[in-house]
Chain A
Amino acid sequence: MTRYILKRLVGMLVVVLIVLTIAFVIVRLAPGDPAALLLGPDATPEDAAELREKLGLNSPILVQYMAFLGNAVRGDLGNSLFFNRPVTEVLLARAEPTTFLALFSLLISLVIAVPIGIYAAYRRGSWLDQSAVSTAMLAASVPSFWTGLMFQRYLATEMGWFPASDYGGPDADFISRMGYLVLPSIVLGIVNSALILRFTRASMLDILGEDFVRTARSKGMSERRVVLRHALKNAAIPIITIIGLTFANLVSGAVVTERVFNLPGMGNLVVNAVLRRDYPVIQGTLIVVAVLYVLINLMVDLVYLLVDKRVRY
């Protein structure tokens, strides 16, 4: 098992290295001279040349790449051109709404999707199963920002049940800030639950067809016990996988949802960075999110070891 964990860790490091390389290459492909961008339109060519020298932009690309890797490993993702502060600092300042939006919506989607998915699989082919499956497919077809705009228009602006947008003033306390996340989390939770529901239903169907479920039934075990004890326990692994996989979906969803509800999170930050041509911030966000994804999926794999005693590597 130690060998397996070590192997996974090495594999993870390789993937992280490639992630960094891709992020480096993407930003290097950007048109324009980074030094001229930094200095703005009023700078003289001499100033730009001086700054290029200072930033090491005149050294060979390989040297720059090594320097970039070295800095990234030490947690230095460069400076934002717009804020003139370290990218890591800028990202951290925007992390709160994004983190809680992702957590709340994951929670909401699990609460909606797992019980319905289990029940739909158990009553396969019933009207409930069919409507659950078609609703999930419909929910996965509607753009999340559209759902967000509609909910905002009718539930917040018209009915006044939720704050329509923003994240409270600078002195709003934590609880009131979280209040602004309720409607965005519901929107993203519903969108995200479609995938989890389909996955839960599919893995539950597989398990319900297994021999041990038939044996449990023939022993006279109550249906409740068969489903909740035997089947659910074995369906847990695929369900944990999907939580790791939905992370990427949640981040993508958060980017647009933050824009709809004007939340000052990382998604809004990166969109503004694109409009401001603030490449270091774009690069930093890509790196942070991708590394998080890799780490979460590593943790998911390790949880397998704990949940399923059959998994031996």
Chain B
Amino acid sequence: MAAASALAEEPGFTRALLARRSVLAALCVFLLILAAVLLATWIAPADPAAMAVRQRLSPPGTGYLLGSDPYGRDVFSRLLFAGRVSLTVGAGVAMIASVGGILIGLVAGYFPRLDAPASRIIDAMMAFPDILLAIALVAILGGSIANVIIALSIVYTPRIARTVRASTLVIRELPYVEAARALGSSTPFILIQHILRNILSPIIVQATFIFAYAMLAEAGLSFLGVGIDPSTPSWGTMINEGRQYVDQAPFLIFFPGIAIAASVLCLQLIGDGLRDALDPRIARQL
């Protein structure tokens, strides 16, 4: 909420954001996906778990909008419900990693004594490739939705922390921060009111991208069979399940793949749009 009101304060922000047709289209498509997934209970033509073994592997259009899976379950309905899991993971990771990254980044950037240790730990965390670290963490935590969110949040927190630290280092030296210090403002007040408020825009942009990356990573984990338990379908697990039928029924992996790609593409376009709209030099040209 604080983020949204901070954005609204930027002059001409909404106009600059929507000036590009690609960003506008991405926002519309993403909202459409979001609405479809949220309203799945009402939109879905069938119970996503209802089996009809006689109608197994029906191609799209033959009574099933997007076909049916090896158990005769409706692919379209499953796609809608699986989207809940995939989007929840993306949004959850973006939020938790932002909060964690802000805390660590602010502390590392503002207190010189804590900077070196925090930065080295961030460097070390970022030396692990994201999927690999996530695999190891999920292996230890166990594969529930909450644990996948925790694992991926641990993976992406250092990335946000690094950005926050870099911005904090710059703002810390500005005269108005010095003035606030001289006036006797408390450190938490300076950190939140003077520093955090001024570095929110790059964080929002990065959180949008992390939303996208986390969705891709969750799909990867689920595809590898080391992510969310297959009993709760996500788009990644749907692809994993459809794999063995790829020769007879390629649509089983085709549609979940499109769903992931469309969501991730929209998020990346929105992220790019936000970055440009929040950059006063570029926004003026839009």
Contact = CB atoms under 8 A, between A and B. Distances in A.
Contact of A145 (B128, B220, B226, B265): B220
B82 to A, nearest CB: 14
A259 B223 contact: yes
A146 B120 contact: no
Interface in B223-260: 223-226, 236, 239, 243, 246-247, 250, 253-254, 257, 260
Interface string A262-281: 00000000110011010100
A78 to B, nearest CB: 15
Nearest to B266: A141
A145 B239 contact: yes
Contacts of B253: 146, 149-150
Nearest to B139: A274
A115 interface: no
Interface string B133-155: 10111111000000000000000
B269 interface: yes
B135 A256 contact: no
Give the contact-size bracket for chain A. 35 or more
Contact of B120 (A18, A141, A152, A270): A18
Given A255-B131, A255-B135, A286-B133, A146 B140 contact: no
Contact of B264 (A16, A31, A141): A141
Given A15-B124, A146-B239, A270 B220 contact: no
Nearest to B116: A14
A142 B261 contact: yes
Contacts of B243: 149
Nearest to A293: B127
Interface in B64-98: none
Nearest to A22: B124
Contacts of B132: 251-252, 255, 270, 285-286, 289
A26 interface: yes
Interface in A285-302: 285-286, 289-291, 293-294
A34 to B, nearest CB: 12
Given A149-B253, A153-B246, A252-B129, A15 B120 contact: yes
Contact of A143 (B121, B126, B254, B260): B260
Nearest to A147: B257
A146 B133 contact: no
A153 B244 CA distance: 11
B257 to A, nearest CB: 4
A291 B127 CA distance: 7
A98 B239 CA distance: 23
A286 B136 contact: yes
Given A149-B239, A275-B226, A256 B139 contact: no
A11 interface: yes
B212 interface: yes
B219 interface: yes
B120 A14 contact: yes
B265 A138 contact: yes
Interface in A102-142: 134, 137-138, 140-142
B235 to A, nearest CB: 9
A157 B243 CA distance: 13
Contact of A29 (B131, B140, B239): B140
A8 to B, nearest CB: 12
A249 interface: yes
Nearest to B125: A22
Interface string B162-201: 0000000000000000000000000000000000000000
Contacts of B212: 141
Contact of B124 (A18, A140, A279): A18
Given A18-B124, A153-B246, A256 B223 contact: yes
A294 B127 contact: yes
A52 B31 CA distance: 55
A14 B268 CA distance: 35
Contacts of A157: 247
Given A22-B125, A140-B264, A146-B261, 10 more contacts: A18-B120, A26-B137, A143-B223, A143-B239, A146-B260, A255-B131, A256-B224, A274-B136, A282-B135, A290-B127
Please list the 4 inter-chain residue pairs (A to B) with the smallest Cβ-Cβ separation, ordered nearest first.
A18-B124, A146-B257, A141-B265, A252-B131
Interface of B: 22, 120-121, 123-133, 135-140, 212, 216, 219-220, 223-226, 236, 239, 243, 246-247, 250, 253-254, 257, 260-262, 264-265, 268-269
7 contacts: A16-B124, A22-B128, A137-B265, A142-B261, A251-B132, A255-B129, A270-B135
